Copies of this chain bind each other. A is one copy, B any other.
Amino acid sequence: MRALKYAILGLLCRKSMTGYELSKEFNYELAEFWYANHSQIYPELKKLSDEELVVFDVEITGDILETKRYTVTDLGKSEFNQWLHKDEKIPRTPKDPFRLRMYFAHNLDCQARLHLLDNQKMQHVKRLNSLKKTFEQYPSTPSKDSDRFGDFIVLRGAIMREEQNIAWIDEVISYCR
């Protein structure tokens, strides 16, 4: 499937970027639905370059520091657009290590169970608050054709996901009392 390939091509369709900049995207904004670290990104960029889906220019920062700025080619744009139109079967539900633990919860006494649940809830609440803070920066829904639309909807999705996670934990807590 090579999702990383298309994630990179999509980002480069917006604007030319360096590997380092791409890496930051995956570790911050995009992280709500995709991530990759630099040890995956640099080799993938090389591959895309070999396939002539991207090209790069070398820039000099300061005196000698070289950085490669990648730009998507017409071929790259075309492959990206083809992928973008594809209907997809929904994947298997993603793995969830906490739910795996809770699946075996009957082996835990009430106190231990509530301890784990409270800890998870706290973390999800924290994440939700940070997402909400980011969301406040949108004064209104961006136009459905602006490139901020994508950011907006996935942010809304992340908020809904966290709210749902918390609601589930609350429900389990109520069963345990």
Report copies per complex.
2
CA distance A101 to B85 in the complex (A): 9
Q: Which of B10, B87, B160 contacts A104 (CB 8 A)?
A: B10
Tell me the smallest distance from the CB of A53 to a CB of chain B, in Å: 15
Tell me the smallest distance from the CB of A72 to a CB of chain B, in Å: 12
Mark out the residues of chain A between 135 and 172 whose CB falls within 8 Å of any chain B CB in the assembled complex.
141, 144-147, 149-151, 153-154, 156-158, 160-161, 163-164, 167-168, 171-172
Contact of B168 with A156 in the complex, beta carbons under 8 Å: yes
Contact of A31 with B84 in the complex, beta carbons under 8 Å: no
CA distance A14 to B161 in the complex (A): 31
Most buried by B among A10, A97, A157: A157
Q: Which of B31, B90, B97, B112 contacts A93 (CB 8 A)?
A: B31
Q: Does A102 contact B (CB under 8 A)?
A: yes
CA distance A144 to B103 in the complex (A): 11
Q: Which of B7, B104, B154 contacts A102 (CB 8 A)?
A: B154
Contact of A157 with B106 in the complex, beta carbons under 8 Å: no
**A175 contacts which chain B residues (CB < 8 A)?**
141, 144, 149, 153
**A35 contacts which chain B residues (CB < 8 A)?**
92-93, 95
CA distance A157 to B116 in the complex (A): 16
Tell me the smallest distance from the CB of A99 to a CB of chain B, in Å: 4
Contact of B92 with A150 in the complex, beta carbons under 8 Å: no
5 example contacts (A-B, Cβ-Cβ < 8 A) are as follows A31-B93, A33-B99, A34-B99, A80-B104, A105-B150
9 additional contacts, CB 8 Å, given A81-B107, A102-B154, A153-B175?
A10-B100, A32-B93, A35-B92, A84-B101, A86-B101, A90-B98, A104-B150, A149-B175, A160-B171
